[in-house]
Chains A and B, each alone.
Chain A
Amino acid sequence: MRMNQRTLSAAVFAVVLMMTVTACKKKVPAPPPPPPPAAEVLPPPPAAPAARITNFAVEPRSIQQGQSATLTWSVANATNIAINNGIGSVAADGTRQVFPTATTTYTLTASAAGGNDTRSVTVEVTTPPPPPPPPPARPKITGAEEFTTLFNGDGGDALFDYDKSDIRDDARQALTSDAAKLKQIFADDPTFTVVLEGHCDERGSAEYNLGLGDRRATSAKDFLVQLGVPAEKVRTISYGKDRPVCTDATEACYQRNRRAHLAPAQ
């Protein structure tokens, strides 16, 4: 610490010494001061021009609610230009699209030191006539109704031989036609599903016939699915011989009852 103080003292001494040596340079006499400059005459400043709005227009002047109008303006000499109704400061020349919801007067204010200018335009907003009432909704046809129409009241029955569940040629035709109709209905009403019922004639036992009816419904469903009918839209059920369409003890009646029958799901 003591060393630092000594160093500082030496530095101060050196600076003072140098200043003393410089001051000891040879002295020169000072020149005379220059003459004062001639007085200059400035032209008087020009008068500040007044702001001037050369154009402020709206096109179109009348709009319907929801439509737009375009403001166009042109301003000279202004230092400050603004349009009210929320538009605020704008450039000297410009356009602006506005969407007034009611008749609105836009005021353009141009201000300058030399004077202000103001001009207004009005956009007339008319309320459009109410739209025509919506057309009466076209009654939507349900899948069940379309089913009734397309199947003409029957169930597109596929018929079977006694104690058999094989798809015969006539059943193949019936099911092919059924598949086309079903695909159309499913397209029109995606919520629609069908039940494919298996039935038997009265001759087998009640217990076995439930199994046989199930075979017939399953065979018919498999065929429909091969033709592109979505499997998840077809539910099978077997009624055995519990729901005959006729009760005569004749082969004609037995044949009508040995069927796979389509019905709208409940």
Chain B
Amino acid sequence: MNITSIARNLSPLALLLAAAASLPGQGQNDIVGKISSAERPAIAVADMRGTGDAQRHMDTFNSTLWDELSNAGILKMVAKTFYPLEVPQRPQDFKPPTVPANARRGTPPVRNGPWLTDWSGPPVNANYLAFGYTAVQDNRLVLFGWLFNTGQQDVTTAQVIGKLYFGSLDADGAKKVAREFAADILQQFGAKSLAGTKIYFVSDRSGAKEIWSMDYDGSHQQRLTQYNSTSSMPTVSPDGKLFAFTTYAGGNPQIRVHSAETGRRMPFYNPVSSVVETPEFTPDGKQMLFATALGGWVQICISGIDGSNFRRISNVRAIEVSPKVNPKTGSDMLFISGRGGRQQLWHMNLDGTDMQQFTTGEGDVANPAWSPSGQQIAFAWTRGYEPGNFNIFVMDVASRKPVQLTQGTGRNENPWWAPDGVHLVFTSKRGKSTQIYTMLSDGSNVQQLTTQGNNIQPVWANGVN
């Protein structure tokens, strides 16, 4: 269940109330996030129809197109309940209203059919309209898709996109053309496509904790390891070609590095230790940070990506884990440290200088993650809750002001930024099991991606090209 599908089932009155106050009590009362949709362009997406056999796949097409646009998080989606009854299917369906030649001043123009103001005026108030239709040509599905700027006075200047899209005559083809059309629309608004990105995660659905991956929308879930031990804490190299994790497959905990392309295991020389965890590639892909027990305390260290040239970075009598290097600078890092008491979010340069505590000292902090821009961070925090009741927070690095995105008794952990800088993936225990969800970085538009077993520690990585 997500916001979008709820919104589509609500009455217009309830929707107005919800839009006005972001009302709790709609099954999403754990979303607090800041309201930032005011600046987003509003788009209406007309339900499209198909001629002949094409019509059989139009439910799939319409829901895919809506979800793709909605999930991008950069457009305000106008609910379909507001749409006028007369929906254009092609540009020539628009009939400009006419003013009778002998009309007196103030006489309203005569309506001749669908027109742009049906969409730009109330109650739709859309800035843009996506419309079109599908047909069968040479046993293929073809989409005639248009995007119009409803603020224009003339059909000829309103067109932003007018394009043909081809796919197979089945549900997969319908999804394909919908996604391509959505990608073209989103590109108009500066969105980065998540197509090709991968989410790595840990699942116990096979009986043991193994490393898995899936596409950004939850499709193509596949197991990458088969160690039949406890393998967890995956991380992916910046070029997407290697993934690393920690495993007990060798008895003692060890970091293992595998090729994302071939699955082959690469060499990594581990210290023999009671703890080896939280591997993390540096942004240049040339080094590995991780945490291991040194002198009785788990501390942060750095090595080559094969484990060579091992040296420690931190040196205090406190537990320090989860090093995360700023992807923009490559020279400063976040980490979790108990050096001030409870485990909190700290920041320092890789050479150990400029040590700063980023969180207030309340509660426990875990799982820091950088946005791709290096300007925002996300983390899990129990501030204001009992121990263990983590929620997702984001923080602007410049202002250090934390914003709480989830709010509830269920555990919300492991936030990780998507390569588009707009989405977050995270885990939540909202029933008996822990599952992976995505949301926008303002906390809205929560989507559940996994259902089988427990699924934790998602990492949103660039795909290998």
Asked whether A203 and B274 contact (CB < 8 A) given A208-B321, A208-B366, A215-B297, the answer is no
Whether the pair A238, B343 counts as a contact (CB closer than 8 A) is: no
Contact partner, A205, options B252, B275, B293, B367, Cβ 8 Å: B367
- Per-position 1/0 for A131-166, Cβ under 8 A of B: 000000000000000000000000000000011000
Q: Does B64 contact A (CB under 8 A)?
A: no
**Within 8 Å CB of B218, what residues of A?**
none
Contact partner, B274, options A202, A205, A238, Cβ 8 Å: A238
Shortest CB–CB separation between residue B359 and chain A, in angstroms? 13
Q: Does B234 contact A (CB under 8 A)?
A: no
**Within 8 Å CB of B322, what residues of A?**
207
Contact partner, A210, options B252, B277, B296, Cβ 8 Å: B277
Most buried by B among A204, A210, A213, A236: A210
* Chain A residue at minimal CB-CB distance from B295: A218
Shortest CB–CB separation between residue A25 and chain B, in angstroms? 121
Asked whether A266 and B251 contact (CB < 8 A) given A162-B387, A218-B296, A238-B274, the answer is yes
Contact partner, B275, options A163, A203, A204, A214, Cβ 8 Å: A214
Whether the pair B298, A214 counts as a contact (CB closer than 8 A) is: yes
A198 to B252 alpha-carbon distance, docked (Å): 13
Tell me if B's interface is mostly helix, strand, loop or mixed. strand
Q: Does B291 contact A (CB under 8 A)?
A: yes
Category for how many chain B residues contact A = 35 or more
Number of A residues near B (Cβ < 8 Å) is 26
- Per-position 1/0 for A206-230, Cβ under 8 A of B: 1110111111011000000000000
Whether the pair B319, A208 counts as a contact (CB closer than 8 A) is: yes
Q: Does A81 contact B (CB under 8 A)?
A: no
A202 to B321 alpha-carbon distance, docked (Å): 17
Q: Does B388 contact A (CB under 8 A)?
A: yes
* Chain A residue at minimal CB-CB distance from B382: A203
Whether the pair B274, A237 counts as a contact (CB closer than 8 A) is: yes
Question: Would you give 16 A-B contacts (Cβ < 8 Å), ordered by A?
Answer: A202-B388, A203-B388, A206-B233, A207-B366, A208-B319, A208-B343, A210-B277, A211-B297, A211-B320, A214-B298, A215-B319, A218-B296, A235-B274, A238-B253, A238-B274, A242-B230
Contact partner, B388, options A204, A212, A235, A243, Cβ 8 Å: A204
Q: Does B407 contact A (CB under 8 A)?
A: no
Whether the pair B252, A237 counts as a contact (CB closer than 8 A) is: yes
Whether the pair B297, A208 counts as a contact (CB closer than 8 A) is: no
Whether the pair B338, A204 counts as a contact (CB closer than 8 A) is: no
Whether the pair B297, A204 counts as a contact (CB closer than 8 A) is: no
- Per-position 1/0 for B204-239, Cβ under 8 A of A: 000001000000000000000000001011000000
**Within 8 Å CB of B209, what residues of A?**
242
Whether the pair B387, A204 counts as a contact (CB closer than 8 A) is: yes
Shortest CB–CB separation between residue A212 and chain B, in angstroms? 6
**Within 8 Å CB of B297, what residues of A?**
211, 214-215
**Within 8 Å CB of A218, what residues of B?**
274, 293, 296
Asked whether A211 and B367 contact (CB < 8 A) given A198-B274, A205-B390, A217-B274, the answer is no
Asked whether A207 and B364 contact (CB < 8 A) given A242-B230, A266-B251, the answer is no
Shortest CB–CB separation between residue A193 and chain B, in angstroms? 12
Asked whether A210 and B298 contact (CB < 8 A) given A205-B367, A217-B274, A266-B251, the answer is yes
Closest 6 CB pairs of A and B: A203-B388, A205-B366, A211-B319, A211-B298, A207-B321, A236-B274
Q: Does B28 contact A (CB under 8 A)?
A: no
**Within 8 Å CB of A210, what residues of B?**
253, 275, 277, 291, 298, 321
Whether the pair B291, A211 counts as a contact (CB closer than 8 A) is: yes
Q: Does B278 contact A (CB under 8 A)?
A: yes
Shortest CB–CB separation between residue B201 and chain A, in angstroms? 13
Q: Does B178 contact A (CB under 8 A)?
A: no
Q: Does B333 contact A (CB under 8 A)?
A: no
**Within 8 Å CB of B233, what residues of A?**
206-207
A202 to B388 alpha-carbon distance, docked (Å): 7
A24 to B366 alpha-carbon distance, docked (Å): 148
**Within 8 Å CB of A243, what residues of B?**
230
- Per-position 1/0 for B387-408, Cβ under 8 A of A: 1101000000000000000000
A211 to B291 alpha-carbon distance, docked (Å): 9
Shortest CB–CB separation between residue A146 and chain B, in angstroms? 22
* Chain A residue at minimal CB-CB distance from B251: A266
Shortest CB–CB separation between residue A256 and chain B, in angstroms? 16
**Within 8 Å CB of A212, what residues of B?**
319
* Chain A residue at minimal CB-CB distance from B322: A207
Shortest CB–CB separation between residue A159 and chain B, in angstroms? 17
A266 to B367 alpha-carbon distance, docked (Å): 33
